[in-house]
Amino acid sequence: MGAQVYAQKFEQIARTPQLGWNSWNTFGCNVNEKMIREMADAMVSSGMKDAGYEYINIDDCWHGERDKNGFIQADKKHFPSGMKALADYVHAKGLKLGIYSDAGNTTCAGRPGSRGHEYQDALTYASWGIDYVKYDWCDTKDINPVSAYSTMRDAIYKAGRPMLFSICEWGDNKPWDWAKDVGHSWRTTGDIYPCWNCEHNHGSWSSWGVLPILDKQTGLRKFAGPGHWNDMDMMEVGNGMTADEDRAHFSLWAMMASPLIAGNDLRNMSDATKQLLTHKDTLAINQDKLGIQAMKWIDEGAIEIFIKPLEKGDYAVLFLNRDDVARDYSLDWNFHYMKDDISKHEIFFDKKRFNWRDIWTGEKGTTGSQYTTRIPAHGVVVLRLSPQ
Ligand code: GAL
């Protein structure tokens, strides 16, 4: 019975997908307290905090050794003031601090993992004031994923401090089938790579561009909802793709109700990147209270149309151009019907009229007449529909 008592996660967290920043995509193992503090400063000064971003997450490589009693310590060289002081700094900015560990003996970068130390580690994180735990899956050999992640979930709950629990086992063990009551989000794929449609081969594993990650979400939308999200991985916005690709990437992640975790250097981002990451209408689509992941509504090969039911009868409609050239596209709403068996939404466009607004250009119209647009190569057009 004992184990049952704590078999819970903190339910009040991540009722909408978490918004934040993570060190890995830009810095890899080069993390230190000065950089993390500067990132918290930049999250405030860039307007990201005001736009809703909340978490500053340190990924792999913050770890030092375990002490003689097995308690984990931060790397003394790179985090000389310690994690508690860093959490205090981040909290004083009105933000939250996240940390990273691994279900195995060692993390992916070879630092101490939490295997056999789960309760001790959760207690340590709670005592430091940590708010978010990303939990990876390297060096796990024969470990059962459901029990490994449930053990850490129980350890966090027992430690008593609400911490968002972010499952990162790359979708290998179908976490959507078992993780709803275990974590607040689960990675659905291997790592992201800043490219449109590539597979980046690392030998024994691959990382993936925007389109391959999008395509791997097929069939998963029914598993997501408030408090338990499909995580499409940390974003590569501002990390080298074109402006149109970045906008498509950000808009798609928002539509899919994925956590939006920036992965660029917030201290020196371009105005374009800042504008994208703080784009209110896109964030509102992601943060909509219904928490319904978009569905692919129309698939015409190069052009795909996604639709996301929103509060108050609104819908977000995203036109994606996967192609390498710009494409003109026309949609006669009147001849279309939308039925979502999962969220139980249905629209007869010939009977029900909407006003639409292009959330980037501000252009307006109604679904009473044919809609024509030009979608840039590797780009999107996003409309918000409101009932008339
Ligand atoms: C991977 C994980 C990445 C990053 C990295 C750190 O397994 O998917 O997001 O955390 O480990 O070593």
Determine the pLDDT at residue 251. Answer: 99
Tens digit of each residue's pLDDT (9 = 90 or more) over 244-294:
999 999 999 999 999 999 999 999 999 999 999 999 999 999 999 999 999
% of the chain residues with pLDDT over 70: 98
Q: Which of 135, 125, 132, 134 is nearest to 159 (CA)?
A: 125
Give the bridge partners for 384, in sequence order: 316, 357
Closest ligand 1 atom number to CA of residue 107 = 12
| Residue keyed to tokens 């735990």 | 133
Q: How confident is the model at residue 1 (pLDDT cuts 50, 70, 90)?
A: very low
Determine the pLDDT at residue 41. Answer: 99
Q: Average pLDDT, whole number, for the chain?
A: 97
Tens digit of each residue's pLDDT (9 = 90 or more) over 171-217:
999 999 999 999 999 999 999 999 999 999 999 999 999 999 999 99
Which residue owns the Cα nearest ligand 1 atom 3? 191
The residues annotated as belonging to the active site are: 136, 191
- Residue 299 pLDDT exceeds 50: yes
Give the mean model confidence (pLDDT) for residues 53-63: 99
Tens digit of each residue's pLDDT (9 = 90 or more) over 18-36:
999 999 999 999 999 999 9
Return d(Cα 237, Cα 50) in angstroms, integer.
Answer: 19
Q: Convert 334-373 to b/e letters by CB count within 10 Å (16 or more is b).
A: eeeebebeebebebebeeeebbbbbbbeeeebebeeebeb
Please give the distance, rounded to the nearest whole angstrom, from the Cα atom of residue 92 to the centre of ligand 1: 28
Closest ligand 1 atom number to CA of residue 187 = 8
Determine the pLDDT at residue 114. Answer: 98
- Ligand 1: residue of 23, 27, 29, 60 to mutate (most ligand atoms within 8 A of CB) is 60
Please give the distance, rounded to the nearest whole angstrom, from the Cα atom of residue 259 to the centre of ligand 1: 16
Give the mean model confidence (pLDDT) for residues 53-65: 98
Which residues approach ligand 1 with their CB closer than 6 A? Answer: 24, 59-60, 107-109, 136, 138, 168, 191
Closest ligand 1 atom number to CA of residue 136 = 7
Closest ligand 1 atom number to CA of residue 100 = 10
Tens digit of each residue's pLDDT (9 = 90 or more) over 137-165:
999 989 999 999 999 999 999 999 999 99
Return d(Cα 329, Cα 371) in angstroms, integer.
Answer: 8
The domain 295-387 having CATH identifier 2.60.40.10: the answer here is no
Please give the distance, rounded to the nearest whole angstrom, from the Cα atom of residue 101 to the centre of ligand 1: 10
Q: Are 255 and 285 in contact (CB under 8 A)?
A: yes
Return d(Cα 48, Cα 297) in angstroms, integer.
Answer: 31
Q: How confident is the model at residue 316 (pLDDT cuts 50, 70, 90)?
A: very high
CATH T-level fold of 2-286: TIM Barrel (3.20.20)
Domain limits of the chain? 2-286, 295-387
- Residue 2 pLDDT exceeds 60: no
- Ligand 1: residue of 30, 57, 111, 136 to mutate (most ligand atoms within 8 A of CB) is 136
Q: Are 378 and 330 in contact (CB under 8 A)?
A: no
Please give the distance, rounded to the nearest whole angstrom, from the Cα atom of residue 369 to the centre of ligand 1: 48
Tens digit of each residue's pLDDT (9 = 90 or more) over 333-369:
999 999 999 999 999 999 999 999 999 999 999 999 9
Please give the distance, rounded to the nearest whole angstrom, from the Cα atom of residue 211 to the centre of ligand 1: 20
Determine the pLDDT at residue 43. Answer: 99
Please give the distance, rounded to the nearest whole angstrom, from the Cα atom of residue 373 to the centre of ligand 1: 39
Determine the pLDDT at residue 4. Answer: 47
Which residue owns the Cα nearest ligand 1 atom 1? 108
Determine the pLDDT at residue 365. Answer: 98
The 10 Å Cβ neighbour count of residue 255 is 24
- Ligand 1: residue of 137, 168, 234 to mutate (most ligand atoms within 8 A of CB) is 168
- Residue 5 pLDDT exceeds 60: no
- Cα–Cα distances (Å) from 72 to 14, 191, 315, in that order, read 27, 26, 47
Q: Are 248 and 381 in contact (CB under 8 A)?
A: no
Determine the pLDDT at residue 3. Answer: 45
Q: Which of 320, 325, 324 is nearest to 299 (CA)?
A: 320
Q: Are 250 and 277 in contact (CB under 8 A)?
A: yes
Say how many residues make up the chain. 388
Q: Are 41 and 87 in contact (CB under 8 A)?
A: no
Q: How confident is the model at residue 7 (pLDDT cuts 50, 70, 90)?
A: confident
Closest ligand 1 atom number to CA of residue 138 = 7
Determine the pLDDT at residue 374. Answer: 98
Give the mean model confidence (pLDDT) for residues 121-135: 98
Return d(Cα 73, Cα 65) in angstroms, integer.
Answer: 6
Return d(Cα 234, Cα 222) in angstroms, integer.
Answer: 21
